[in-house]
Structure 1
Amino acid sequence: MSRVLHVVCPHCASINRLLHERMTDRPRCGRCHESLFVGQPAAADAEAFARHLNRNDIPVLVDFWAPWCAPCKVFAPVFEQAAERLEPNVRLIKLNTEQAPQAAAEHHIRSIPTLALFHSGRELARQSGIMDLGRLIRWVEENLRQAA
């Protein structure tokens, strides 16, 4: 029996139903027709962020950042590389805490950059500061394995 997943579009934030075995077939959004997996982090406003957390059936890795933050700028290329490696199994989101202060406050973000890994709306792990790509990938994989 095929497992149906709900996947939030990184472009229009609409919810798509997708067969698990079709995740690697370059699926497109039923609403905007853009690719559901682009190998890049999706920038999200507060509304799209909430939808990704609560409606995605795949894990969501969030980079809480701000444009004035020097470590955030240093970490941005690493996070982009991680998206290339982790999608389609994990959705990567960038949330600008300056534009979505309420969402950052609701998740008790005290320093940036902060990474938080979510699944089914529940936070699985959190890490403040920057990491290299290898350490980031291992951190995500270890936390997903522990949550399974």
Structure 2
Amino acid sequence: MKNLIIIMGLLLGFATYAQNDRHDRIKALKVSFLTEELELTPAEAEKFWPIYNIYDKKMDDLRNRERELFKQKYGSAGAKNNFSEAEANKLITEYNDIIEKRYNLDSSLMSDLTKKLPAAKMVFLPEVEHKFGKKLWEEYRKRKK
């Protein structure tokens, strides 16, 4: 029994390490992709990445909140949970709060970036991020086959 617990702990540790490693590789690809697509000079990249990393962390926190909200709405089998009006209104309020915070983060990101970098480059950031996400998704689908 003790050996089983140790083995399960090791497997969980490896799974967590693999997930963190995958996240780090994706992050490195994103840094390279955005830097190249936005044609950032080394001096511009030095200003861009600290601002963008703070934004990205906050957006990741909002995505995690949204995933938790989704888990509350649906059961483990994917069936819709039943809610009272008060519970449903609370979930809607939380969802609207997430949307508002995303909008505010996007706005402040562009404002912060254009104070230190050329707006002529930053105007393309939303499309470049979308392009990266699309490329990542296509790569994921290729590997699944």
- Shorter-chain TM range is under 0.3
- Which one has a larger percent strand, Structure 1 or Structure 2? 1
User: Relative contact order (C-alpha < 8 Å, sep 6+): which is higher?
Assistant: 2
- Which one has a larger percent helix, Structure 1 or Structure 2? 2
Q: Which has the larger radius of gyration?
A: 2
